[in-house]
Amino acid sequence: MISISDVEAAAERLTGIAIRTPLIQNDELDHIAGGKVLVKTENLQVVGSFKIRGAYNLMSQLPAAAARSGVVAFSSGNHAQGVAKAGRLLGIPTAIVMPEDAPRAKMDNTRRLGGEVITYDRYAGDREAIARDIATERGAELVPSYDHDHIIAGQGTVGLEIAEQALDLGLPPDQVLINCGGGGLSAGSAVALKARLPEVAVHTVEPAAFDDTARSLAAGERLHVAPDARSICDALLAESPGRLPFEIQQRLFAAGLSVTDEEVCAAMRFAFQNLKLVVEPGGAVSLAAVLSGKIATAGKTTAIVISGGNVDLELFASVQEGAS
């Protein structure tokens, strides 16, 4: 299990690379919640999501020989952009295995940042196996999306910033809701949050059809989603919790939460109309949990993470029009 010192070391490496995103409040959101809500705006991060944090933290520690051979990653889009950006900054060749139905904005931006995109069928292929085979053929290093200590520590800098910014505001949160796919962001952030705020309750939030972490926490073992599961939240479609993140989640987390796609769309509309933020579906699940009353917020201070804002224009427009 990583420690707070690992997260603090990651924060040092990320100085001048990742930005310290704002922790904001909104009167309408506070009114709906009946308490204080602190919103961590990682959609404003470099490449539009928190993923640069973990990718850079891992890739900046590669030995020179490994860096010259390049890296291979697998991602639905946000990790892809983080890896491609880190590769550009560090001079490391990058190749990313992405589902052929990934949002066009994520795929195009990955290529723009210098990443080689290799597509596969999300529902028929095994992205990890494909990436592993390519890495072996090329002698390249594999950069997983969440199941690596350096990735988890890098993503944990989000939780570290939440704790520091909330304390600066004099509003230590009673609970923190963190969007969860494989679990790197939530696990790393929980390590930092619990180190700074030992009494805080940390909850994962997932799409209803991909609530594997919530069910796994309740069962005490890693469970999988149904093969026919679907969700608008393309960034959070992990089939099961990551092994390393789940070890941390079992020790540090309260019960997991889940939200429907309809609640996610409502949260995206709220974010645009009230917070003036463009949020992708997977980035909106924690906000959706607050707006839909999935957890008691009255009289409490609740921190939530907006984890990304990379969404295709057509989907975003249809959500704002209420058509999705």
Confidence band, pLDDT 50/70/90 cuts, at residue 76: confident
- Sign of the CA dihedral running 3, 5, 10, 11: positive
As a whole number, mean pLDDT of residues 210-232 equals: 97
Cβ proximity of 20 and 10 under 8 Å? no
Whole-angstrom Cα distance, residue 6 to residue 20? 18
User: At residue 42, does pLDDT exceed 90?
Assistant: yes
Spatial neighbors of 145 by CB under 8 A, at least 6 apart, are 73, 74, 75, 79, 151, 181, 182, 184
Count of C-beta atoms within a 10 Å radius of residue 235: 29
Mean pLDDT, the chain, whole residue set: 96
Residue-level pLDDT at 124: 85
User: At residue 135, does pLDDT exceed 90?
Assistant: yes
As a whole number, mean pLDDT of residues 305-320 equals: 97
pLDDT digits (tens, 9 = 90+) for 78-108: 999 999 999 999 999 999 999 999 999 999 9
pLDDT digits (tens, 9 = 90+) for 161-218: 999 999 999 999 999 999 999 999 999 999 999 999 999 999 999 999 999 999 999 9
As a whole number, mean pLDDT of residues 150-164 equals: 98
Confidence band, pLDDT 50/70/90 cuts, at residue 1: confident
pLDDT digits (tens, 9 = 90+) for 259-298: 999 999 999 999 999 999 999 999 999 999 999 999 999 9
Strands 257-259 and 201-207 turn out to be parallel
As a whole number, mean pLDDT of residues 144-153 equals: 97
- Sign of the CA dihedral running 75, 109, 15, 235: negative
Confidence band, pLDDT 50/70/90 cuts, at residue 133: very high
Residue-level pLDDT at 193: 98
Spatial neighbors of 200 by CB under 8 A, at least 6 apart, are 172, 173, 174, 175, 176, 193, 194
Spatial neighbors of 235 by CB under 8 A, at least 6 apart, are 49, 76, 77, 78, 179, 181, 280, 281, 282, 283, 307, 308
Q: Is 268 helix (H, G, I), strand (E, B) or coil?
A: helix
User: At residue 324, does pLDDT exceed 70?
Assistant: no
Tell me, yes or no, if the pTM score tops 0.75.
yes
As a whole number, mean pLDDT of residues 62-78 equals: 94
Residue-level pLDDT at 90: 98
Q: What domains does the chain contain, in order, with CATH numbers?
A: 4-50+151-320 (3.40.50.1100), 51-145 (3.40.50.1100)
Residue-level pLDDT at 179: 98
